[in-house]
Amino acid sequence: MNKDNTALNRRSFLKASILSGGGMLLTVSWLSGFKSADEAEALNVPEQWARLNGYIHIMPDNKVKLICPNPEFGQNVMTSLPMMLAEELDADWKNVTVEMGPHDPAKLGAQFTGGSNSVRMYWKPLREAGAAARQMLREAAAQTWNVPVGEVTTKAGVLSHPSGKSAKYGEMASKAAKVSVPKELQLKAPKDFTIVRKSKKNVEIQKITSGKPLFGLDYSVDGMLIAMIQHPPAFGMKLKSFDAAETMKMPGIKDVFSVKLYEDGFEQGGFDTRTFNELLVVVGENTWAVMNGRKKLVVDWEAAGDIKDTIGGRGGKREVIVPGALESTTSQMQQMQEYAAKPAQQLRKDGDPESAFNNAAQVIERTYNGPFLAHNCMEPMNFFAHVTDEKALLAGPLQAPGWTEPTLSKLLNLPADKIEIQMTRMGGGFGRRAYGHYLYEAALISRKVKAPVKLMYTREDDMTYGIYRPMYTATYRAALDTNKNLIAFHVRGGGIPEHAIHANRFPAGAVDHYLAEGWQIPSNITIGAFRAPRSNFNAAAEQSFLDEVAEAAGKDPIEFRLELLKRAKENPVGKNNEYDADRYAGVLKLVRDKSNWNKPGNEKYNRGVAAYFCHNSYAAHVVDMVTRDGQPYVERVYSAMDCGIVINPDAATNMVQGAVVDGIGNAFYGALTHKDGAAQQTNFSNYRMIRINEAPKSIEVHFVQNDLDPTGLGEPPFPPVFGAVANALYKNKGKRFYNQPFMGEMDKAI
């Protein structure tokens, strides 16, 4: 076991008390794993998370219950987090249960699910909680039996002594609550794990498979009304006037009105958004009545003009001018080409790239483009609200209640302790549910009609409302000397309304002369985090380009990358290189070996490879493509991951497989375009998603085996899929494709 003495540092604490009716309640600081504020800041953790606490219950009946702080949207934190606790507690896994806690910032902090940080952040604090509780139980048993504590052992929720005395945890829990919290903890060595690294079924699997009400769309109370919003038909427009006379004649319709989301000058938080500020709302008794009532509205829209927003948050208070133009994809592409020719912001520079390019024997230059992408969560956006003058109850799918509550408090003019937010299981998130505007809308509507209300978006509402993956472009250049060695690398990337460049990632640090630049164009088309934000495009373009450079250099694409990584390890260039070259090379070697890269037996496949580092983890994929019915089809995939210790192998494998399918689908088909501000894709009938029969027959996932602390997994496998598909497609079609979605570019080429 490893000694750990960080449990009682200045940023953390453990506290025990007796449960009503017996048992033990352990309050644990979830941030005890961070030795300093700087370490927490490195994870982009808000300062208020220093207060993050959880509750561990050891019940008299020997049950162990964890109140889970983090929202669950399929990444399986409600299973993996209690696994870590149960491991150090030496609990019997069959007796461990978990409940989703309500939003409680005083006890549970910001409660944010995103950035692939859940397991990484809670790894040490939850283990400390389990270890502390176990030690206190041993102390209680030792005192009861009048034996040295060192002679008391634990296994599967039972305390034992060589004399033959034994007791279940529940029997000692109340006494243990009176024992002083240990100042020094004994954490298990990974070789001694009995629960972590063993596959466990989802703790909610029975509820899911039996159709129990878990999701926001399931939430219901007596007297609840249904609300829907009619938003403008295009970005850059706003409500001018409306006539609801015919709507009000429809059966089941209760009210039609307009309400502002933010009043003029309202200071928005960092995760607030303002797609359409004036809401035209229809409220009725049921969904069918409201959907039909909306169709009878007579609405006059007008140009919104430029809008000034005041934004707060971590970047400090600032004013942002949102342009009022009715934007179209064709004009946006032209505008991006114009911006790409202008001077850009220098993000990183090593050596003398200008001279290296001027003196190069060969220069390779390619430009890559990616469209807006819609999140398309399987469960459309929804939220329940019941707001009165005294208090507010809200319930629904939400990734960031801690970042949402301050704005809600200001909008409703209610103190935070009068607001209750209950979090339901999410039917998909991918970043979309980190933005709380739909919760604010529900609250304002409920306050207006003075009744409990569930706000519901149709698929068309959600797909045309914004919060998309941004539109990106990037131009890459590589300089080769007379021996075809890479001597300089230059990337200039931009986008609407942000660029995707991560300047300190590979191949930065592996090339003597390196330049990264970025630029961005303001837009009224609202964007937000999309699974592995920015990385999902950056990896696609970069990994496609590196294959072209490898080909020009006459080298195998995997060996070419490994040579660069060897240089980055042995003689790194510059500072602030984000990645570990050894671990990066490790996933490439693993996927090379597991896929039998360049070995006989794979002749029928067009093979593409890509690797990437993001969210503190490393991913590599080999995509095997064939032609089926005249179209390219990814038949099988080999994936390699280094995310440190894998908590739950089956669940981790599923997560990687899901990312692979998601990546293939977006690479081939994903695109959302606009014409005069209006989204041209409104549902799955014209926004192409991957079909079941288009998913690979086999996705073989392998994890690098090490004892490093776990890192992210929900997002890291996703970005390199795009590049691997692009590189396989080149071999399949005999030409390179530079514009996503690839099927769209292929159709244009016919």
pLDDT digits (tens, 9 = 90+) for 547-557: 999 999 999 99
Which pLDDT does position 315 carry in this prediction? 65
Q: Which of these ranges, 29-43, 89-103, 242-256, 514-528, has the smallest mean pLDDT?
A: 29-43
Fold annotation for 471-749? Aldehyde Oxidoreductase; domain 4 (3.30.365)
Check pLDDT > 60 for residue 30: no
pTM of the full predicted structure? Answer: 0.93
pLDDT in tens, 652-662: 999 999 999 99
Q: Which of these ranges, 24-38, 64-78, 195-209, 235-249, has the smallest mean pLDDT?
A: 24-38
Which pLDDT does position 235 carry in this prediction? 97
pLDDT in tens, 402-416: 889 999 999 999 999
Q: Which of 28-42, 176-190, 304-318, 601-615 has the highest mean pLDDT?
A: 601-615
**Three state DSSP letters for 542-563:** HHHHHHHHHHHCCCCHHHHHHH
> How does residue 38 score in pLDDT terms, banded at 50, 70 and 90?
very low
pLDDT in tens, 320-348: 999 999 999 999 999 999 999 999 999 99
Q: Tell me the C-alpha to C-alpha distance, in Å, between residue 102 and each of 64, 69, 427, 433.
A: 19, 8, 18, 17
d(CA 12, CA 129): 11
Which pLDDT does position 1 carry in this prediction? 58
Residues in a beta bridge with 634 = 625
pLDDT in tens, 77-107: 899 988 998 999 999 999 998 888 888 766 6
For the domain spanning 224-309+376-464, the CATH number is 3.30.365.10
Q: Which of these ranges, 122-136, 570-584, 657-671, has the smallest mean pLDDT?
A: 122-136
The CATH architecture one would assign to domain 2-193 is 2-Layer Sandwich (3.30)
- Residue 420 gets which letter from DSSP? E
> How does residue 46 score in pLDDT terms, banded at 50, 70 and 90?
very low
Which pLDDT does position 555 carry in this prediction? 98
What are the structural domain ranges in the chain?
2-193, 224-309+376-464, 471-749
Which pLDDT does position 26 carry in this prediction? 83
Decide whether 224-309+376-464 matches 471-749 in CATH topology. Answer: yes
Check pLDDT > 80 for residue 222: yes
What percentage of the chain has pLDDT greater than the value 70?
Answer: 93
Check pLDDT > 60 for residue 540: yes
Which pLDDT does position 254 carry in this prediction? 98
What percentage of the chain has pLDDT greater than the value 90?
Answer: 79
Q: Which of these ranges, 16-25, 249-258, 467-476, 670-679, has the smallest mean pLDDT?
A: 16-25
pLDDT in tens, 114-160: 888 888 888 988 898 899 999 999 999 999 999 999 999 999 999 99
DSSP 618-682: EEEEEEEEEEETTEEEEEEEEEEEE-SS-SSHHHHHHHHHHHHHHHHHHHHH--B-EETTEES--
Token pair 């829907």 is at which residue? Answer: 228
Which pLDDT does position 106 carry in this prediction? 66
pLDDT in tens, 308-318: 998 886 667 88
Could you tell me if 65 and 57 are in contact, meaning their C-beta atoms sit under 8 angstroms apart? yes
d(CA 478, CA 459): 43
- Residue 368 gets which letter from DSSP? E
d(CA 442, CA 445): 5
> How does residue 29 score in pLDDT terms, banded at 50, 70 and 90?
low
Higher pLDDT, 37 or 192: 192
The vertex-531 CA angle with 505 and 518, nearest 5°, equals 40
